Amino acid sequence: MSLTERTATSLLADLNSGALSASELMQETLARIDAVNGRVNAIVGLRDPDTLMAEAAAMDSGPKRGPLHGLPIAVKDLANVAGVLTTFGSPIFADNVPEQDDMIAARMRAAGAILIGKTNTPEFGLGSHTFNPVHGVTRNPYDLSRSAGGSSGGSAAVLAAGMTALADGSDMMGSLRNPAAWNNVYGFRPSWGRVPSEPEGDTFLHQLATLGPMARTPEDIAILLDVISGPDPRQPHGMAVEPVAPLGAADPNGLRIGWLGDWGGAYPMEEGILDLCGDALGVLETLGCAIEPVAPPFSAEAIWQSWIDLRSWQVSTGLAAFLAEGAELKDSAIWETERGLALTAHDVHKASVVRSQWFRAAAALFETYDALILPTAQVWPFDADIPYPTSVAGKAMETYHQWMQVVIPISLLGLPALAVPAGFGAQGLPMGVQIFGPRGSDARLLALGAAYHAATDWPAQRPPL
């Protein structure tokens, strides 16, 4: 097995013991990027190779800096990295080279990671297909004609293609879960507040998006989650957390798992997705879990309306100034911003009341079930040359993002969710399921994921690059 195929857990163990040098790993990483990134276009803004090799050599000759010592990581292009081109996928920031790290980059750097560049993302992270006018399209390593998803499509594709062993992502509307499913890797949306965002602008009102880790194993996810977790005293909603690494597999025997399927038909699914999800449920059954179908616990329509209002309100707060200045924005950014600006305070309050009602209904479910499961996506990876699907299973989509509706019951409540691979469909394309629980159940979900991974190891089926 080559270095670029190994897990972060094994690489870090060898880096810590001295059996592997950071220089050797960096050399192999750069060679792998050179070999495959031209076809996938997942890493953008790659730093100078000689500079990176020098940083790796300094790691080898210096003291151990932390749990990520000597590990190369590319940071999602929605986070500032000092001295590295950071565009947010927008022409507005095509020449932006920040002087300071955002918090997630700073925490990874302090833990010893070598930040090698950025991973591609859609413009301002909007939509689950990674393309933008600055860096172009990121393609799926399992089929280069297909989308890698988004907005963490670059992160997921980097992992699938073996360019790095760990990646950071972010998730508002499935932005790390959907790409994880489409790239046959794991993505973890933590409990909202576990991983702090940047301490700027409003830090009280908006609770939809969160940063999170991505990897090829749940054990690796736990390592990065510990690095980026923990409260920031400048923000009001952070939580003190216990470490989850090193992660041990749970004993799933006797766990009661609720299967929500297509939410009683509310979420149209392309052919074959529910069947493949059923295979993943079968694995959990063989591990001793009791899988029970669950009727729709809340109105999908009410969740959707609450979501699109709260999302547009939040997105508009960040983009309204650009729109007012006449900046060139993509159509989905304009749509979100104009919707958000048209909302009244009472519209936002009404949406949050519905969110509160759904939270109470979900809490009642978790009195019965240890975890709940939904498909991670409603469509297979689609043509990389279209912006988004306009219909799903014959049903027309009303917005640019309605085809992602299956992720929002989780996002709306800030619940933790682990996206796990479920295998491959008839066309050889990956898909997954999302296992979620109440706020604070992060460690339990990851431990269940570790047991599932031990029984499946889907990421070992590498893409044909």
pLDDT tens-digit series, residues 182-213: 999 999 999 999 999 999 999 999 999 999 99
pLDDT at position 108 is 98
Catalytic residue among 90, 128, 147, 151: 151
Q: pTM of the predicted model, to two decimals?
A: 0.98
* 78 neighbors 125 (Cβ within 8 angstroms): yes
Residue 395: active-site member: no
Nearest to 415 by CA among 349, 366, 351, 450: 366
DSSP element (H, E) containing 210: strand 210-215
Q: What is the mean pLDDT of the chain?
A: 98
Is 239's pLDDT higher than 90? Answer: no
Q: Give CA–CA dist 135/122, Å, rounded.
A: 9
pLDDT of 465 above 90? no
Biggest alpha carbon distance in the chain?
Answer: 61
Q: What's the token pair of residue 258?
A: 């609720």
Tokens 């060679």 belong to residue:
31
- Choose the catalytic residue: 76, 147, 155, 191: 76
Nearest to 202 by CA among 241, 231, 234, 228: 234
Pairing of strands 186-189, 417-424: antiparallel
- Res 43 pLDDT > 90: yes
Six-digit token pair at 319? 């983009």
Residue 160 and residue 463: Cα distance in Å, rounded?
7
Instruction: Kindly state the average pLDDT of the residues 297-315.
Output: 98
Task: Give the residue extent of every domain in the chain.
Answer: 3-300+349-460
CB 251 within 8 A of CB 451: yes
Compute the distance between CA of residue 65 and CA of residue 371 in angstroms, rounded to an integer: 37
- The neighbouring-strand residues paired with 187 are 214, 419
Q: What is the pLDDT of residues 70-107, one digit of tens each?
A: 999 999 999 999 999 999 999 999 999 999 999 999 99
Superfamily of domain 3-300+349-460 in CATH is Amidase signature (AS) domain (3.90.1300.10)
The pLDDT of residue 282 is above 90: yes
Q: How confident is the model at residue 335 (pLDDT cuts 50, 70, 90)?
A: very high
pLDDT for residue 383: 98
For residue 240, pLDDT over 90 is answered with no
Active site residue 76: yes
d(CA 456, CA 422): 9
Given the residues 90, 175, 197, 441, the one annotated as active site: 175
- Whether 2 is a known active-site residue: answer no
Any idea what the Cα angle at residue 241 is, between residues 358 and 422, rounded to 5°? Answer: 60
pLDDT of 50 strictly over 90: yes
The two beta strands, 391-392 and 395-396, are antiparallel
**Residue 416 reports pLDDT greater than 90:** yes
